[in-house]
Amino acid sequence: NIKLLKRLQIVYRRESNCKAVLRAAMTAITMQEYHTVKEVSRWLVEFIGHYPSSNTVEEAIASQFTFLITELLRGIGTASPSSTVEFLGDLFNPLCRMCPDQLRETLKATLATENFPTKHITRESKETFVSSVLKSSHQKRKLKVVIKEFSLECRGYNNNSVR
């Protein structure tokens, strides 16, 4: 992993097509492959961590932010294996830290779509999820619980039976 991260420094250069790399990574987080989703999620956490220090990363994230949140929610909802929800949830930490206002607005707008990410989730649950994610952004363990409960509800499980 360390060798891979060192080699990926090339992605942060001005001449790199950072947007295309980000888009490919976002598409990969909805795959049905545990190891792929896990590693891509880790890489995205690293990538988003460069947000304040790299104009290339900042431009890529800004231009793809809605797609990033949509794919992240699809992955948490049902597109990715339930065993990867923990890794997908880790993406909320740097997003909450780097761009909380944009995250709030994009989550609200994306979740306003009926039957998204699945038909099992209610509007009230979506609203609770958005507020809980933003409130729990500094408490990693609590944030993971919020995301796991949301994922279970999206998958049709009654979250009361999980506790």
Cα–Cα distance for residue pair 41/84, rounded to 1 Å: 9
The yes-or-no verdict on residue 124 having pLDDT over 80 is yes
DSSP conformation class of 77: I
pLDDT at 10: 52
pLDDT confidence bin for 163, thresholds 50/70/90: very low
**Mean pLDDT confidence for 22-46:** 91
pLDDT at 13: 58
Cα–Cα distance for residue pair 10/13, rounded to 1 Å: 6
pLDDT at 140: 87
Task: List, in order, residues 6 or more apart from 137 with CB less than 8 Å away.
Answer: 92, 93, 96, 97, 100, 143
pLDDT at 16: 66
Question: By percentage, how much of the chain surpasses pLDDT 70?
Answer: 85
**Mean pLDDT confidence for 77-97:** 91
Mean pLDDT over the full length of the chain: 86
Helices (H), the chain: 2-7, 18-28, 34-49, 55-74, 85-89, 92-98, 100-111, 123-135, 140-154
The yes-or-no verdict on residue 143 having pLDDT over 80 is yes
The one-letter code for the residue type at 14 is R
